[in-house]
Amino acid sequence: MYRRSRVLAFFMSALALGASAQSALDNGSGAYATGKYRNLFKEDGRSEKQIRVKIDAAYQQLFHGDPQTQAVAFAAGGNANGPLMYLTDWANHDVRTEGMSYGMMITVQLNHKAEFDALWNWAKTYMYVSDPKAPSYEYFAWSCKTDGTHNSEGAAPDGESYFAMALLFAANRWPGGTGIYDYHAEAVKLLTAMVHRGVITAPGKYGPQSVGPEMHPDPPMVLFVPEMMPHPFTDPSYHLPAFYELWARWGPPQDREFWERAADASRAFFPKAVNADTGLAPDYANFDGTPAVNRFSQSGKFGYDAWRTASNWSVDWSWWHKAPKEQALSDRIQKFFQTQGIDTYGPVFTLDGKPQGSVPGRTHEEHPEGLAGTNAVAGLAATDRARAKLFTEALWNTPTPSGQSRYYDGMLYLMSLMHAGGEFRIIQPKH
């Protein structure tokens, strides 16, 4: 009885500590506190019906359109947990945690539970690393063939981040699930691994591989990859302070203070990472914001990963209103792209603004729809409303991606429509 009493006292103390930390959090003055989300398309004169029709049409094309030219999501039979579906990078013939987690976020936001569950079932069945001896144990293999065979055993933290947030939203929207559909339990397990997973070393195809947590402890920043390396670095587009704030409220109680610090660290990091004139962020950066050069061919350039960075800080401003510098960053990047021709700029630039064209190995894109989307989302934080409206209109006039480039561009395009149309929201717990 004494031992049971001590255990109960410890448990109640932990709950009280978590509740105390949560009550002390600053809720800001954005959409989390007010429940009000800006609708850039409505501000631009579109009706709510027009906006919903446009978002639904893009969803139908990318998830249920022509399989050869439009769709990126494909049914893949079923198993004991139910139907399976994967979302593929059509041009590269693989399935990535990036796209699967984006698909889950889109479907939970738009209330498509069947598709959400089928995507999650495929990810858990084929991508999840369940072997405790494997270096990426408790993470997801970032790239698989469409039959589920792993192309890589490594993990990419942008995928885990979107998986965790989508699962928490699903737990709030569709509570009461069991097994792999106990979304809250699955999210907590993943968030715990991201922060606390111990280093595991094992032989690999290219020699020994050592993998640790996906979050760097100090500064508390997301790593580009959790593989152990002498000089770890980050990816600016992986920083999601808007999500971290929610994990500081809904995540594992022992890590809530960590996620609050991570949100603050990302907000301080963004102004250091972007160019002072153009607002362009590098694909990879050191923790002090300097470009992580000589890592990959895109290390010091504004490339495909970096497209997402402005959207990340702008959504953070929209939801929380805690970092006014994010407004200046949005003004800066929209001003730069206005000079490049709102309807004609290309995909890759040096940080000081020199166009670089497409990267070898990528499908040629003269004016990528995904970047048009994220630049429009920057309008959620921009103070120059007249200029922001130009980007909103440009996104509205951009057709849903099709053909070879429809995967990455399509996911960013659709999520950008949702952000700009006020349909990408914090799904609160049901009380």
Beta strands 220-222 and 143-144, pairing class: unpaired
Q: Which tens digit of pLDDT belongs to each residue from 279-320?
A: 999 999 999 999 998 766 567 899 999 999 999 999 999 999
Q: Answer yes or no: are the C-beta atoms of 165 and 106 closer than 8 Å.
A: no
What topology does CATH give the domain 29-70+233-431?
Glycosyltransferase (1.50.10)
pLDDT at 264 over 50: yes
State the CB neighbour count (10 A cutoff) for residue 54.
17
Catalytic residue among 89, 98, 235, 255: 98
Q: Is 115 labeled as catalytic in the residue annotation?
A: no
Calculate mean pLDDT across residues 186-203. 97
Calculate mean pLDDT across residues 75-103. 98
Q: Which tens digit of pLDDT belongs to each residue from 353-367?
A: 999 976 555 554 689
pLDDT at 4 over 50: no
Calculate mean pLDDT across residues 408-430. 97
CA distances from 304 to 99, 348, 419 (A): 14, 7, 19
- Helices then strands, each counted (H, E), the chain: 15, 10
DSSP conformation class of 317: H
Calculate mean pLDDT across residues 150-172. 97
Confidence grade of residue 404 (pLDDT, cut at 50, 70, 90): very high
> How confident is the model at residue 13, as a pLDDT?
45
> How confident is the model at residue 14, as a pLDDT?
43
The residue written with tokens 């939970």 in the block is 108
CA distances from 223 to 35, 144, 397 (A): 32, 21, 36
Q: Does domain 72-213 have CATH number 1.10.10.10?
A: no
**Domain limits, CATH 1.50.10.10, in the chain:** 29-70+233-431, 72-213
Confidence grade of residue 207 (pLDDT, cut at 50, 70, 90): confident
CA distances from 335 to 58, 176, 258, 384, 412 (A): 28, 47, 35, 9, 21
Confidence grade of residue 2 (pLDDT, cut at 50, 70, 90): very low
Torsion angles phi and psi, residue 204, rounded to 5: -135, 175
Confidence grade of residue 15 (pLDDT, cut at 50, 70, 90): very low
Q: Is 305 labeled as catalytic in the residue annotation?
A: yes
Percent of the chain with pLDDT over 70: 92
> How confident is the model at residue 360, as a pLDDT?
53
Quick one: which of 150, 160, 166 has its CA closest to 94? 150
Catalytic residue among 115, 283, 305, 365: 305
CA distances from 428 to 248, 312, 319, 375 (A): 14, 20, 13, 27
pLDDT at 114 over 70: yes
pLDDT at 172 over 70: yes
> How confident is the model at residue 7, as a pLDDT?
35
Q: Which tens digit of pLDDT belongs to each residue from 27-80?
A: 999 999 999 999 999 999 999 999 999 999 999 999 999 999 999 999 999 999
